[in-house]
Amino acid sequence: MATNRTFTMIKPDAVQENHIGGILHMMEEGGFRIVELQKLLLTPERAGQFYAVHAERPFYNDLVKYMSSGPIVAAVLEKDNAVADFRTLIGATNPAQAAEGTIRKKYAKSIEANAVHGSDSDENAQIEADFFFGSK
Ligand code: IDP
Ligand code: MG
């Protein structure tokens, strides 16, 4: 599988606060090309499927509720070393620990409502992109 693509979501808090444009701008300024882009509302069932890997974690039910609480923006991004470079661009899961200049430092409200998702491996990037955009 190609190592030059990753998958992202702009999460409900950031969409609600009118940060779609600001966040997409940071992604483009970071060297990422937007390959696929869609705004949509996840049902709790779909949100639960997406985060099934976290089903045993104590925050899972809240996370599913949150991710289905309002529209998200799903996107596939392209850049050399996309997965690792994008994790650097978004910053730590907990915005209190996110580095200066990262998307989460600028836009995340809390460890749950942390503005954006970024895939953690090439394999998951492919699975997550297919979940929203189908196999290409
Ligand atoms: P990541 O998004 O940085 O990869 P993960 O550990 O994969 O972080 O967790 C997935 C998502 O679950 C996070 O982005 C965040 O929205 C939520 N989450 C993670 N840890 C916690 C927590 O301790 N409390 C509440 N929500 C959490
Ligand atoms: Mg993760």
Q: What is the pLDDT of residues 4-40, one digit of tens each?
A: 999 999 999 999 999 999 999 999 999 999 999 999 9
* 93 annotated to bind ligand: yes
SS3 assignment for 100-117: CCCHHHHHCCCCCCCCEE
Q: Which alpha helices (DSSP H) does the chain contain, by range?
A: 12-16, 20-29, 44-50, 60-67, 82-90, 103-107, 122-133
* 114 annotated to bind ligand: yes
Choosing from 8, 62, 63 the residue with most ligand 1 atoms within 8 A of its CB, the one to mutate for a pocket test is 63
CA-CA distance, 73 to 48, in Å (whole number)? 17
User: What are the pLDDT digits (tens) for 53-80?
Assistant: 999 999 999 999 999 999 999 999 999 9
Choosing from 59, 61, 97 the residue with most ligand 1 atoms within 8 A of its CB, the one to mutate for a pocket test is 59
> Do residues 15 and 68 lie in contact, with contact meaning Cβ atoms separated by under 8 Å?
no
The residue count of the chain comes to 136
Domains of the chain: 5-133 (3.30.70.141)
pTM over 0.95: yes
Ligand 1: does its nearest atom lie under 6 Å from the Cβ of 112?
A: yes
Ligand 1: does its nearest atom lie under 6 Å from the Cβ of 34?
A: no
From the alpha carbon of 51, which atom of ligand 1 is closest?
Answer: 10
Ligand 1: does its nearest atom lie under 6 Å from the Cβ of 78?
A: no
